[in-house]
Structure 1
Amino acid sequence: MNDIFISYAHVDNESLTEGQKGWISQFHRTLEIRLRQLMGENPKIWRDMKLSGTDIFDEKILNEFGNTRLMISVVSPRYVNSEWCNRELNEFHQSLENSGGIRVGEKARIIKVVKTPVDGDDSGGSAHSIFNSLLGFEFFEVDSETGRVREYNEEFGHEAKRNYLERVYDLAHEITGILKEMDGGSGKPADSPATQTGRVVYLADVTSDLKPERDRIRRELLERGHTVLPDRPLPLDADEA
Structure 2
Amino acid sequence: MSFENEILLAYHSADDEPISGSNKGWVSNFNRFLSTLLEQISGQPPKIRLVTESETNMQLYSDATVLITLFSKNFLKNEILIQGIHEFAKNSQKQEGLVIDGLSRLFKVIKFPFEIDDLLPEYSNILTYDFYQIDPLTGEPQEFRRFFGNDAERSYWMKLVDMAYDIYQIQNKVIEEAKTIDEVQSDKNKTIYLANSGVDMIIQRDIVKRELLRHGYKVLPNHSLPKEVHALESAVKDDLAKCCLSIHLIGEDYGYKPKGSDLSVVDLQNQIAAQHTRDILAYNEKSDAQEKFSRLIWLSPDLKNVSERQKIFIEDLKSDAASLDEAEVLQIQLQELKSIIREELVTGGRFKTKEVKLAEDEVTINGEVVYVIFDKIDREKTKPIIDYLQGKGLHVVTSLYEGDLIDLRYLHQENLRRCDASLIYFGDSSKEWIKTKLQDILKAPGFGRVKPMKASAVYLENKSTFDQNNLRNNDVMILGEGEFEPQSIEPFLTKLEIQ
TM-score by length of 2: 0.42
Q: 1:21 aligns with which of 13, 19, 24?
A: 24
Deviation at 1:183, TM superposition (A): 3.0
Question: Separation in 1 of the partners of 2:114 and 2:183?
Answer: 31
Deviation at 1:94, TM superposition (A): 1.8
1:64 equivalent in structure 2: 60
Question: Separation in 2 of the partners of 1:149 and 1:186?
Answer: 38
- 1:73 counterpart SS class: strand
2:158–2:206 contact (8 Å) kept in structure 1? no
Deviation at 1:118, TM superposition (A): 1.0
- 1:141 counterpart SS class: strand
1:183 equivalent in structure 2: 175
- 1:74 counterpart SS class: strand
Question: Separation in 2 of the partners of 1:229 and 1:101?
Answer: 19
Structure that is richer in helix per residue: 2
1:74–1:115 contact (8 Å) kept in structure 2? yes
Amino acid at match of 2:149: H
Q: 2:156 aligns with which of 150, 153, 164?
A: 164
Q: 1:228 aligns with which of 213, 219, 224?
A: 219
Aligned CA-pair RMSD: 2.5
Deviation at 1:69, TM superposition (A): 0.4
Deviation at 1:191, TM superposition (A): 7.5
1:143–1:209 contact (8 Å) kept in structure 2? no
Question: Separation in 1 of the partners of 2:27 and 2:130?
Answer: 14
Question: Separation in 1 of the partners of 2:218 and 2:109?
Answer: 21
Deviation at 1:221, TM superposition (A): 1.1
Question: Separation in 1 of the partners of 2:124 and 2:6?
Answer: 24
Amino acid at match of 1:77: K
Q: Which has the larger radius of gyration?
A: 2
1:212 equivalent in structure 2: 203
Query: Which deviations, in whole Å up to 9, do the C-alpha atoms of 1:110-137 show, x marking residues without a partner?
Result: 1111111114744x4xxx2133111111
Question: Separation in 2 of the partners of 1:182 and 1:91?
Answer: 17
- 1:20 counterpart SS class: coil
1:112–1:131 contact (8 Å) kept in structure 2? no
Map of 1:57-96 to 2, 5 A cutoff? 58-60=55-57, 62-96=58-92
Map of 1:44-55 to 2, 5 A cutoff? 44-48=47-51, 51=52, 55=54
Amino acid at match of 1:3: E
2:193 equivalent in structure 1: 202
- CA 1:220/1:233 → structure 2, altered by over 3 Å: closer, same or farther? same
1:111 equivalent in structure 2: 107
Query: Which deviations, in whole Å up to 9, do the C-alpha atoms of 1:70-118 show, x marking residues without a partner?
Result: 1001122222232232122122112222334212222111111111111
- 1:112 counterpart SS class: strand
- CA 1:130/1:6 → structure 2, altered by over 3 Å: closer, same or farther? farther
Specify every segment of 5 or more residues in structure 1 that has no aligned partner in the other structure, as ranges: none
Bigger CA drift: 177-186 or 104-113? 177-186
Say how many residue pairs are matched. 228
Q: Aligned pair 1:10/2:10, yes or no?
A: no
2:141 equivalent in structure 1: 149
Amino acid at match of 2:6: D
Question: Separation in 1 of the partners of 2:19 and 2:62?
Answer: 35
1:7–1:71 contact (8 Å) kept in structure 2? yes
Amino acid at match of 2:77: N
- CA 1:96/1:229 → structure 2, altered by over 3 Å: closer, same or farther? same
Amino acid at match of 1:214: R
Q: 1:133 aligns with which of 93, 115, 125?
A: 125
Question: Separation in 2 of the partners of 1:47 and 1:11?
Answer: 14
Query: Which deviations, in whole Å up to 9, do the C-alpha atoms of 1:115-164 show, x marking residues without a partner?
Result: 11114744x4xxx21331111111112225423212234x2651243132
- CA 1:194/1:171 → structure 2, altered by over 3 Å: closer, same or farther? closer
Question: Separation in 2 of the partners of 1:234 and 1:92?
Answer: 23
Specify every segment of 5 or more residues in structure 2 that has no aligned partner in the other structure, as ranges: 235-499
Deviation at 1:233, TM superposition (A): 2.5
Question: Separation in 2 of the partners of 1:68 and 1:239?
Answer: 31
Deviation at 1:65, TM superposition (A): 2.2
Amino acid at match of 1:177: Q
**% of aligned pairs identical?**
26
Question: Separation in 1 of the partners of 2:175 and 2:117?
Answer: 35
Question: Separation in 2 of the partners of 1:160 and 1:239?
Answer: 34
Question: Separation in 2 of the partners of 1:156 and 1:110?
Answer: 24
Deviation at 1:18, TM superposition (A): 5.3
Question: Separation in 1 of the partners of 2:65 and 2:215?
Answer: 26
